[in-house]
Amino acid sequence: MEATPATKSPLTLVTHLTVLLLVALWTLPTAGLFISSLRDKDQLAVSGWWTALSSSSQSLQGRTGAAPDQKEENGVYVITGNLLGDTAGRVSAFGTTSREPEAYEAGAAADLGDGATLTVGEDGAYRLESPVPFESKRGQRVFVTAEQPPRFTLDNYREVLRSEGIGRSFVNSLTVAVPATIIPILIAAFAAYALAWMEFPGRALLIAAVVGLLVVPLQMSLIPLLRLYNGVAEVFGVPAKTYLGIWLAHTGFGMPLAIYLLRNYMAGLPREVLESARVDGASDFEIFTKIILPLSFPALASFAIFQFLWVWNDLLVAIVFLGAQDESLVLTGRLVNLLGSRGGNWEILTASAFITIVVPLLVFFTLQRYLVRGLLAGSVKGG
């Protein structure tokens, strides 16, 4: 920190630049996704998101008016109109065949034969002239290359919420995440209190078991629990894949971290507070509910955030215990399906992906303090 003046300035500059590079690498991918999700889908398909603010060149097709639209001006028959319609843009070139869509520059006159000419201006206005009356009922086909200003829109979001099932999945994700976050807390809190402040044989062994269970891979639980759920469903004649099932599953899987975090925190509370309460004749139950629980709020919040992020972002447990049918897909599952079925439609993928990550991001930025605290307390487990 206290570098000598000679080495300080270049080193500080390097530090600033390196951190800037790291931050760029760590934020630009998400930024790219977000920007892309707001772009017009035609522009998104032909240019990178980093060009979102510059105009993009697009090939359009149009038709001029036909015989009924013509007017006679000084013995010349004329059809006028605008090929761009209401959209803004600047025409750079046009052509009348698909083989040469950029045959003429804007403002130049294209020879259509029999003395007829077509002129397309930069603003898309065209003028079709002929010495003889137009007879065709269909207009002349025109290809234009137009520079279009950047267009931003919420259409992509509207589309995925309406027709891609993202709205439905959002509700499903919420349905899974809220109870699966809240139910484990109370169960774990009582257990953590017992492990932190009550003396009984086997306590050390139980704590060791909890630490061990922290790292048991989820994969170990899947097949036995799937069989168990199917068995229970058969015996009682109920469906095997229910919300109750997944809530309980997340409760079980989150339990080791919950107990571990809360026990560590409760064990660190000052002994005097508890002793004085005991002397006053408070029972364990009263001490827990009136003193420990309120004091443990930061740890409870930490765990709640962890569990919420983990449940919301989970794919494996949701697929296995809730199923992959259309009506029960959570957001992560829906996104995997879209990656398969809509692989190239980036307007759908980017908007869907952003909807799935926006809730965790909000939680992250508003409650980061608790998240960091929880991480530091429970760094034995990592997600």
Partner 1 sequence: MQQLFWALGTVVIGVVGCAGYFYVSNLVLDTLLPGRGPDPVRAGRNINRANLIRPWLFLAPAILALGIYLVYPVIESVWLSLHDRSGQNFVGLSNYVWMLNDPGFRESMFNNMLWLLVVPAAATGFGLAAAALTDRIWWGNIAKSLIFMPMAISFVGASVIWKFIYDYRAPGEPQIGILNALVTWFGGDPQAWLTIPFWNNFFLMVILVWIQTGFAMVILSAALRGIPEETVEAAVLDGANPIQIFFRIKMPQIWGTIAVVWTTITILVLKVFDIVLAMTNGQWRTQVLANLMFDWMFRGGGDFGRGAAIAVVIMVLVIPIMVWNIRRANAEMKGH
Q: Which of residues 319-378 bind partner 1 (CB under 8 A)?
A: 320, 332, 335-336, 339, 346, 349-350, 352-353, 356-357, 360-361, 363-365, 368, 372, 375-376
304 binds partner 1 (CB under 8 A): no
With helix as H, strand as E and coil as C, how does the chain read?
CCCCHHHHHHHHHHHHHHHHHHHHHHHHHHHHHHHHHCECHHHHHHCCHHHCCCCEEEEEEEECCCHHHCEEECCEEEEEEECCCCCCCEEEEEECCCCCCCCEECCCEEEEECCEEEEECCCCEEEEEECCCCCCCCCCEEEEEEEECCCECCHHHHHHHHHCCHHHHHHHHHHHHHHHHHHHHHHHHHHHHHHHHCCCCCHHHHHHHHHHHCCCCHHHHHHHHHHHHHHHHHHHCCCCCCHHHHHHHHHHHHHHHHHHHHHHHHHCCCHHHHHHHHHCCCCHHHHHHHHHHHHCHHHHHHHHHHHHHHHHHCCHHHHHHHCCCHHHCCHHHHHHHHHHHCCCCHHHHHHHHHHHHHHHHHHHHHHHHHHHHHHHHCCCCCC
Among 101, 252, 298, 323, binds partner 1 (CB under 8 A): 252
Q: Which of residues 113-172 bind partner 1 (CB under 8 A)?
A: 171-172
Among 198, 234, 276, 290, binds partner 1 (CB under 8 A): 198
For residues 260 to 299, the per-residue mask of contacts with partner 1, x marking binding by CB under 8 A and - elsewhere, is -------x---------------xxx--x-----------
238 binds partner 1 (CB under 8 A): no
Q: Please identify, using beta-carbon distances, which residue of 130 and 345 lies nearer to partner 1.
A: 345
178 binds partner 1 (CB under 8 A): yes
Among 154, 218, 238, 273, binds partner 1 (CB under 8 A): 218
229 binds partner 1 (CB under 8 A): no
195 binds partner 1 (CB under 8 A): yes
Among 5, 99, 113, 200, binds partner 1 (CB under 8 A): 200
97 binds partner 1 (CB under 8 A): no
